[in-house]
Structure 1
């Protein structure tokens, strides 16, 4: 029997993986969480990241209509590597997750989600007459990854909401350069406002009867579960090369999706040691892990804009998994890094670490430096979440030279881009989703 997924709010019946993937959110507004965590035991590290992803995901898809398609889906979604690169410090590593088509870690899971939702449409061998609209809020990178994954994919449209002025110019270009079945909205508000409106849409039963919707944020299991693959792959290869040692991870985080994926991998029995979180000046999580009550706050604009989140959605999953605050605080630590420190870290990174980081990765490198200064000698891997060329306006002036964009990013920048302005008004969003759906059809 396959694993069932319950709502964090306990007001909905459990669902199988296929139904949970399509729904995104549980009917009661909660996030889907597994009823149990399968244990994964491998005699040796799989040869490729796609092979590791298949091994990690197979237990979750037991009983799914996608079960037999999983290896082929993973081969397409994880077609580019996630290399674990040694840094200059002894025991210091960088897990590079920016080698996909939009140069950010979101590419892996967005591509898998697209494969999964497309596979579910035709798994019974018949065409599905309706078109699904993927509605997604983004603080910078998620929207572009989802757009790339679903662009021109039959049976799907994409509506992206992002905070106007709250993403880098190249990120904004990457959100609005697709056309066809992808439409970008620049919202006169924060990421939290965008996220709130997306959740309203997903919870609007009347709208979903008129416009079939699906989620693509990290609230979706289709984003959460596949992200465990690159943690598993890095940890297994490290263990094999270092006499059975476990690798510890520093995860830059905003909405907690990537951090939750690391916890999923560890709960599956992968050789992952401690997990630490690095945030920007939006310090809701560091305050909580330091002992304060969890208190969402209005987000503040920072250099690490993709982490400008004041109410991280996936915190609901963490609380569900650990049951009480003391147990959760015992498992995870977090550090807030301000803009001045981000700048200093970027300037020093080429000589100190041998890499050029994006502002988000810089928060992780600073936490690594703090750990080393405090005498921690364990092996740590900082998760590099995006390519620095996506933030040329921040990084290049600090370094004094240009940062060459990778080919896929350069190609996207060469296309024209546009986005529709939208007020913080759910009724206006709802109306546009209906209009767009009719036009797309």
Structure 2
């Protein structure tokens, strides 16, 4: 049998794990994030040039699942999870393209990772017959994607923590509309509080013994790895057509979506320059400019899904690029404030009839900046969510209603509710221990 690829903790204090056990656990026992012992290398010629997104994903991820019980099921997992398009559409006015990642059931790119993770966990045997509780902190989009992916899945419960009042009204409705095995908690704090609370619960051995827990944030490899697939698929299609690498501008907050693209480039597929666009939370832009990494409390912005002051995937980023100078030479990041996001949305709607979500607008602003200084390279903007999810921000700026995708409209017709939760680690642990929850 082929030796399995093993996974290590970014903090180096946990035993090596298989991909199945790493996906099941979510977080390593020492609180670190799982990473492969070494990133595999892939030949672009190994991919079917006429294959679907699911075909690309199966080829791309096969080395990561080498020797694992899930390896045989990987093609079926990919077909099950990636049954919608992530089209690369031309933007002729800008001599650019847009990679649309919002055609899944909850209208955001998070659907890709959430559906893949759910498909994996459905196939993993569990010795413990008690329900598995999946904890997810969300700044807006992750929670709905996870809720939809695991809704009514036997033996699984989902607990979504989101910052009360800091997500869009439609996002909040999505988060609380599932019932059954999905529970939403309105945390009286910020996203970073939600993320800290989830990590504290996952790292509590006594709580884990009482309530088996796992994670569905991008700290989970089951979320991160499949996000590589749409970058690989787009880059390979571009390479076959243009014989050149694909340059990307990626909106990012918690760094998972950006890290997925960086990993695709590291394993040898044709991705060229990568630029990151952030909102007013400037932790990453400051680091890429040469300052020390300085996590801080998140600032609320109109691009709320990126309201992250302490991006958890930074640990994986530094594992991948231990030398900061090398990383900074390959990647740049900018911070875009709310006023600029609003101006970008309004101006592009007025001048070009283009409508974006606020997060995608940060990437569009960076493209505008590059063009203004004479950069004529072919760029691809990554569109992370449908603008209809942010109607309270977008519609007043573009001057007309934004059509709602059918799947999102169906969710908005359901009744929604969420329970209030203090921004306190112990409050969540007490809630998880309650007999009513057992």
- CA displacement at 1:91 relative to structure 2: 3.5
SS at match of 2:72: helix
1:10-43 CA distance string (max 9 Å, x none)? 1112111111111111111111111111122243
**Unmatched runs of 5 consecutive residues or more in structure 2:** none
- Asked if residue 111 in structure 1 is aligned to residue 115 in structure 2, the reply is yes
User: What is the CA–CA distance in structure 1 between the aligned matches of 2:335 and 2:400, rounded to whole Å?
Assistant: 28
Trace 1:165-184 onto structure 2 (pairs within 5 A).
Answer: 165-184=165-184
- Which residue is 2:415 aligned to? 416
User: What is the CA–CA distance in structure 1 between the aligned matches of 2:80 and 2:319, rounded to whole Å?
Assistant: 33
- Which residue is 1:229 aligned to? 229
- Asked if residue 258 in structure 1 is aligned to residue 262 in structure 2, the reply is no
- Which residue is 2:14 aligned to? 12
Contact 1:150–1:158 under 8 Å retained in 2? yes
User: What is the CA–CA distance in structure 2 between the aligned matches of 1:432 and 1:353, rounded to whole Å?
Assistant: 50
SS at match of 1:73: helix
User: What is the CA–CA distance in structure 2 between the aligned matches of 1:352 and 1:25, rounded to whole Å?
Assistant: 46
- Which residue is 2:153 aligned to? 153
Contact 1:225–1:264 under 8 Å retained in 2? no
Range with greater deviation from structure 2 (316-325 or 344-353): 344-353
SS at match of 1:86: strand
User: What is the CA–CA distance in structure 2 between the aligned matches of 1:89 and 1:439, rounded to whole Å?
Assistant: 57
The alignment's C-alpha RMSD in Å is: 1.4
Trace 1:147-296 onto structure 2 (pairs within 5 A).
Answer: 147-242=147-242, 244-296=243-295
1:215-244 CA distance string (max 9 Å, x none)? 1000110011000000000000111111x1
Query: Cα gap change, 1:354/1:239 in structure 2, threshold over 3 Å: closer, same or farther?
Result: farther
User: What is the CA–CA distance in structure 1 between the aligned matches of 2:102 and 2:352, rounded to whole Å?
Assistant: 18
- Which residue is 1:357 aligned to? 356
**TM-score where L is the length of structure 1:** 0.96
Report how many residues are paired: 434
Equivalent of residue 34 in structure 1, options 12, 29, 36: 36
Query: Cα gap change, 1:255/1:353 in structure 2, threshold over 3 Å: closer, same or farther?
Result: farther
SS at match of 2:125: helix
Contact 2:253–2:311 under 8 Å retained in 1? yes
Contact 1:253–1:279 under 8 Å retained in 2? yes
- CA displacement at 1:46 relative to structure 2: 4.3
Contact 2:87–2:101 under 8 Å retained in 1? yes
Query: Cα gap change, 1:337/1:145 in structure 2, threshold over 3 Å: closer, same or farther?
Result: same
- Asked if residue 75 in structure 1 is aligned to residue 79 in structure 2, the reply is yes
SS at match of 1:201: helix
- Asked if residue 92 in structure 1 is aligned to residue 99 in structure 2, the reply is no
- Which residue is 1:398 aligned to? 397
- CA displacement at 1:90 relative to structure 2: 5.0
- CA displacement at 1:354 relative to structure 2: 5.1
- Which residue is 2:57 aligned to? 53
1:354-389 CA distance string (max 9 Å, x none)? 531000000000001111112112111111000000
- CA displacement at 1:439 relative to structure 2: 4.2
Contact 2:88–2:97 under 8 Å retained in 1? yes
Query: Cα gap change, 1:53/1:46 in structure 2, threshold over 3 Å: closer, same or farther?
Result: farther
1:188-234 CA distance string (max 9 Å, x none)? 00000000000001101111111111110001100110000000000
